[in-house]
Amino acid sequence: MANRTGGTALQLDITAAEAPARLVSFLEQRFGRLDLLVHNAGITRDKLLANMDAERWDAVLNVNLRAQLRITEAVLASDLLEDGSRIVSVSSQSGIAGNRGQANYVASKAGIIGMVRALAPVVAERGVTVNAVAPGFIETEMTAHMPVATREGGRRINSLRQGGLPVDVAEAIAWLGQAASGGVNGQIVRVCGQSMIGA
């Protein structure tokens, strides 16, 4: 994909201690500035809270939330961001409404919402915005492997009575990354077809 679009790729474990510094160094050397930072990495390690072990909890929080915070802090400490730069994080409808068996995932996605709201006034002083998108049920390879009843339930709990598509989330992120969205800061844009959960 990077080759087709004329982009570059950096293989990186975002949870590694040196990851933020490596990423900032790469961006400084290649581009010198950062127009749009999208935090899109995420994992699940589902278990009921009563059966949740520390390893599952930490793995999800480290990838989904701590890495975002550490990378954002490193970028803010650099000279990469300029007036008009944008930061967009991917949260989830689960971060708003919760989800049985996903306490670690829910905590990480709710944490993203809190992080975005806390960072908004800080980055605004530099002419930067930070927002998040919160997808609902999206038709992906991962959701295709869900049990049929769970998948159909996910599709039908919104006013559209269907699952969303990855392009729906991508277009919301792209809009938040444009100059035209400069008046939007600290917001959570739901991409959920008006989900009845967390309404």
Tens-digit pLDDT profile for residues 123-155? 999 999 999 998 876 666 766 666 665 655 655
Number of domains forming the structure of the chain: 1
The mean per-residue pLDDT over the stretch 180-189 comes to: 93
Residue 105 bears catalytic tag: yes
The mean per-residue pLDDT over the stretch 97-111 comes to: 84
Assess whether pLDDT exceeds 80 at residue 61: yes
Higher pLDDT, 165 or 4: 4
Tens-digit pLDDT profile for residues 29-48? 999 999 999 999 988 787 77
CATH code of 38's domain: 3.40.50.720
Which residue out of 105, 128, 130, 192 is catalytically annotated?
A: 105
Assigned domain for 4 exists: no
Whether 56 contacts 107, CB under 8 Å: no
How many helices (H) and strands (E) the chain has is answered by 9, 4
What is the β-pairing status of strands 188-191 and 129-135? parallel
Assigned domain for 9 exists: no
State which residues form the domain around 139: 19-191
User: Which residues partner with 87 through β-bridges?
Assistant: 37, 130
Assigned domain for 39 exists: yes
Assigned domain for 6 exists: no
Backbone φ and ψ for 160, nearest 5 degrees, come out as -85, -15
CA distance linking residue 22 with residue 179, whole number of Å: 28
Lowest-confidence region among 7-16, 107-116, 128-137, 155-164: 155-164
Whether 40 contacts 91, CB under 8 Å: no
What is the β-pairing status of strands 34-39 and 81-90? parallel
